[in-house]
């Protein structure tokens, strides 16, 4: 029963999508807590993503056992290929524009949070004490990716950030928190952080490496780490096989004729008969 519920929650998170355009922006702040090496790599990608891009990031990071999961290109964060987290928790903050922390990396999507997280998924809390205990319960649960919701209408960003920092000492293993917050200031704040106050052509700094399609996907001619690894494996495997086959053929062509072979025996009999 528990496994069925877990699969249902994960499936709901990663398959829900809408096609309507929305003006509101949703920010996603990624916070790593616990012991172990970093499991998220920062790239030079744009801070803007899409609903499908965020879902692919969550899937690749927490459900990497599925080899068919592909990471969308152009994102500012990607999963580490060699280190995986113990689990992940999507922290859905309602009625608050979470300011986050300077040490926490963020990106945004031009869509409401409902497109990322169905309303019926995850437990909802209205006070910080139950939210903290529920968060730890999700971290220590069986699911690789779970959801918890906090209605923070009467709670400040500083109080939420304090709770998130306070659980660090209670976590073992690497855990990734995906803090989702919907608000009108999300896009502006992340754009300002990305530009660092400069107006000297930063908007065009990605023009030489790729471009965005009308659907919001970032297209680039540069190979991803997966493409590079796959190419190297195929290349060196092919070179190794060619070397082995060539050497084996050479040995066979230069193999000496031994005296006890069938051909030598027949030749000896014919020579003895003639004499």
Q: What is the pLDDT of residues 199-253, one digit of tens each?
A: 444 444 444 455 555 555 555 656 667 778 889 999 999 999 999 999 999 988 8
Which H or E element spans position 176? strand 175-183
> Cβ distance 123 to 134 under 8 Å?
yes
Give the residue among 148, 147, 153, 162 at the shortest CA–CA distance from 183. Answer: 153
Residue 221, pLDDT score: 58
> Cβ distance 94 to 75 under 8 Å?
no
Retrieve residue 67's tokens: 């080899």
Q: What value does the mean pLDDT take over residues 141-162?
A: 89
Residue 260, pLDDT score: 59
Residue 263, pLDDT score: 59
| Domain range annotation of the chain | 2-219, 229-274
Q: Where are the alpha helices (DSSP H) in 91-222?
A: 128-139, 157-166, 186-195
Distance between CA atoms of 77 and 30, rounded to whole angstroms?
9
Tens digits of per-residue pLDDT, 90-137? 999 988 878 666 567 788 888 888 888 877 777 889 899 999 999 999
Percent of the chain with pLDDT over 90: 23
Residue 14, pLDDT score: 53
pTM above 0.85, yes or no: no
Give the residue among 151, 86, 154, 85 at the shortest CA–CA distance from 122. Answer: 151
Tens digits of per-residue pLDDT, 38-66? 898 888 777 888 888 888 898 888 887 66
Distance between CA atoms of 79 and 179, rounded to whole angstroms?
17
* Cα separation of the two ends of the chain: 92
Q: What value does the mean pLDDT take over residues 64-78?
A: 73
Q: Indicate the pLDDT class of residue 271, thresholds 50, 70 and 90.
A: low
């Amino acid at each position: 029963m528990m496994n069925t519920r877990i699969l249902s929650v994960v499936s709901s998170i990663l398959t829900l999508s809408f096609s309507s355009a929305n003006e509101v922006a949703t920010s996603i702040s990624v916070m790593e807590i616990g012991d172990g090496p970093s499991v998220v790599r920062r790239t030079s990608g744009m801070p803007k993503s899409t609903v499908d891009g965020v879902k692919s990031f969550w899937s690749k990071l927490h459900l990497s056992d599925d080899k068919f999961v592909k990471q969308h290109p152009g994102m500012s964060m990607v999963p580490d290929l060699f280190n995986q987290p113990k689990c992940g928790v999507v922290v859905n903050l309602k009625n608050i524009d979470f300011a986050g922390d300077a040490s926490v990396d963020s990106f945004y999507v031009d869509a409401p949070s409902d497109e990322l997280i169905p309303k019926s998924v995850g437990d909802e809390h209205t006070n910080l004490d139950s939210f903290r205990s529920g968060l730890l319960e999700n971290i220590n649960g069986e699911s690789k990716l779970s959801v918890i919701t906090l209605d923070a209408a009467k709670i400040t960003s500083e109080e939420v950030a304090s709770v998130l920092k306070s659980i660090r000492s209670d976590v073992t293993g690497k855990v990734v928190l995906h803090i989702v917050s919907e608000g009108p200031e999300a896009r502006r704040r992340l754009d300002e952080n990305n530009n660092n106050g400069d107006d000297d052509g930063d908007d065009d700094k990605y023009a030489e490496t790729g471009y965005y399609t009308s659907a919001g996907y970032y297209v680039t001619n540069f190979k991803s780490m997966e493409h590079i690894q796959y190419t190297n494996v195929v290349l060196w495997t092919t070179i190794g096989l060619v070397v082995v086959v060539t050497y084996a053929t050479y040995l066979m062509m230069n193999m000496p004729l031994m005296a006890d072979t069938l051909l030598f025996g027949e030749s000896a009999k014919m020579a003895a008969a003639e004499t």
